Structure 1
Amino acid sequence: MPHIEFASVVNALILGLSIASIWLIAAIGLTIIYGTVGVINMAHGEFLMLGAYTSYVLQSFFGLPFLLCIPASFFVVAAVGLVIERGLIRYLYNRPLDTLLATWGVSLILMQGVRILFGSDPKYVSVPDIFQSNVEIGFVSLSVFRIFVFGFTATVVAGTVYLFYRTRFGMQVRAVMQNKEMAASFGINADRVYMTTFAIGAGLAGMAGCLFGVLAIVLPTMGTAYVVQAFLVVVVGGGTLIGSVAASGLTGELQSIFAMVSNDTFARFLLYVLIVVFLRFRPRGLFAVAKARR
């Protein structure tokens, strides 16, 4: 019996990590958009939903393998984000309430547009047979797909860190974040930085949607629930990349453990209560960094 209980706890922890990994990919997109552009993007959940539908369309109508649907989801949703940023968001910078309302309106448009095109019936994203198997390690059973999610998330995080801390573009992003006017005096085009960052953040949400589409049914409203978790990860993490990594792991594990001893609904309730209490005593999050905004 103790072995069975211990195995259940380990499986719950692994499940929490796999869910947290996908939250993290979505939250990274939110983090870099808010950290660089200063926009609270209420349409981020719909970017995630578009990523899931992109995978569904590419599989159903073009026969594209799942592993190729992931990067395809990034580029398709990044292109959508680029159009939205160029057509709307760039005119609303430094107007937080207007951007909040505008992106909320965009989210409604995207949701209803997908409903018109594909209907409200659930859709599904399939994976190769190998991802549907399990690997037995002692008394612990690991899903091959969840192992893939761990590795993929680690790759995305490493790539994001490299992009923003080891490249010329990353240096430009950090310069614009610190002082837009000073960065412009050195020839850095802040407008281009904002455009590129917004597109990258949208693309990351698209990839997260592709992965979530495997674990759940694909619906026009699916982004609403997942974006709440992504926002919580960003807020608890303090709006920083390392904070998002820590917060996603912590919240994912807590929800999985709470769900194991109760149910998923009550687990979310407990998690939200703990987050509210945490933010009461540490409103700037886990790893908040003081910085000058534009």
Structure 2
Amino acid sequence: MTSLDIAPFANALVLGLSIASIWLIAAIGLTIIYGTVGVINMAHGEFIMLGAYTSYALQSSLGLPFLLCLPASFAVVALVGLVIERGLIRYLYNRPLDTLLATWGVSLVLMQGVRLIFGSDPKYIAVPEIFQSNVEIGFASLSVFRLVVLAITALIVAATAWLFYRTRFGMQVRAVMQNKEMAASFGINADRVYMTTFAIGAGLAGVAGSLFGVLAIVLPTMGTAYVVQAFLVVVVGGGTLMGSVAAAGLTGELQSVFAFVTNDTFARFLLYVLIVVFLRFRPRGLFAVAKGRR
């Protein structure tokens, strides 16, 4: 194979990492909520959408720089998630079908609410000019902003791993996941753990939305485009943080390589078929952890 043949394939591999980072950052909040609380959050896509609109609103009304919009989006969407968990989700734990329907209803309410406030016309999030250029990596050419997304994703994964595996709060989370009643006997407030975890997961979706709002136009329906991939990453990864990292990397690279060989539409078809076959033989995902459920 000549260097001319290698260059496009290498570019596809690098692009696959970019795709993986996008899918992972969409999935990481969902992984936290599902892995800890056991809730299949159908409103996760709308949390992503709220993050994008938060950044747009802060830029257009206050002129806030883009990098400051990221923590602001986390705070705003985390607060929305906190209100939803306290007002609705907390009453539906251990009722998966009711939770599924309730979060789907929440997603419709959020979508229509944003449409009423901001309208249905597309919005745009501005980024500094330094992020709008391209950088050459060997044979590959990649936008600086995609590299920023990759770096932010790595930072979020590291911070999340530290929070859940190196802190007292993380120890409490793992204890509640293993046995809620036993954890309560040691003075751990499971209700507070669920509330905090749900808010963190929602906030991370808000950060994802701020990043995605730069890569695509901001619309009330934009969350739908990302939530499917987020669910696939979580399911293939087995609902664990490291599983989601591995699943995002694997699916992102496969998507990019398949698209290089065929086209984007057929690549998605092949990827979904492979995921279905994989789950047929390993329904618990890549790194599923045996645990008692609440």
The Cα of 1:138 is off from its aligned counterpart by 3.8
The alpha carbon displacement at 1:230 in A equals 0.3
Query: Helix, strand or coil: the match of 1:121?
Result: coil
Q: After TM superposition, give the deviation of residue 291 of structure 1 in Å.
A: 0.6
Q: Deviations over 1:63-102 (max 9, x none)?
A: 1111111111111110100000000000111111100000
Partners of 1:41 and 1:150 lie apart in 2 by 25
Q: CA RMSD in A?
A: 1.2
| 1:55–1:125 contact (8 Å) kept in structure 2 | yes
The answer on whether the counterparts of 2:13 and 2:256 sit within 8 Å (CA) in structure 1 is yes
2:190 is aligned to 190
- Give the TM-score taking structure 1 as reference length: 0.97
Matched, 1:247 2:247: yes
Hey, what does 2:66 align to over in structure 1? 66
Tell me which amino acid in the other structure corresponds to 1:212.
F
The answer for the alignment partner of 2:220 in structure 1 is 220
Separation in 2 of the partners of 1:275 and 1:106?
Answer: 28
User: Once the 2 structures are TM-superposed, how far is the Cα of residue 19 of structure 1 from its aligned partner?
Assistant: 2.1
**In the TM superposition, what is the alpha-carbon distance from 1:177 to its structure 2 partner?**
0.4
| Equivalent-residue separation in structure 2 for 1:187 and 1:277 (angstroms) | 43
Report SS of the residue matched to 1:136. Answer: strand
Aligned-partner Cα distance in 2 for 1:44–1:134: 31
Instruction: Name the SS for the 2:136 alignment partner.
Output: strand
| 3-state secondary structure, aligned to 2:135 | strand
Instruction: Find the counterpart in structure 2 of residue 161 from structure 1.
Output: 161
Letter in 2 for 1:114: V
- Provide the TM-score with structure 2 as the length reference: 0.97
User: Aligned partners of 2:281 and 2:101: how far apart in 1?
Assistant: 29
- Aligned mates of 1:255, 1:121 — CA distance in 2: 30
Report the equivalent of 1:126.
Answer: 126
Unpaired runs of at least 5, structure 2: none
Give aligned pairs, total: 294
Match in the other structure for 2:12: 12
Letter in 2 for 1:205: A
Unaligned 5+ runs, structure 1: none
1:274 counterpart residue number? 274
CA contact (8 A) 2:134 2:142 kept: yes
Q: Is the 8 A contact 1:178 1:291 kept in 2?
A: yes
Q: Whole-Å Cα distance in 2 between the matches of residues 263 and 126 of structure 1?
A: 30
Q: Identity rate of aligned residues, in percent?
A: 86
Match of 1:81 in 2: 81
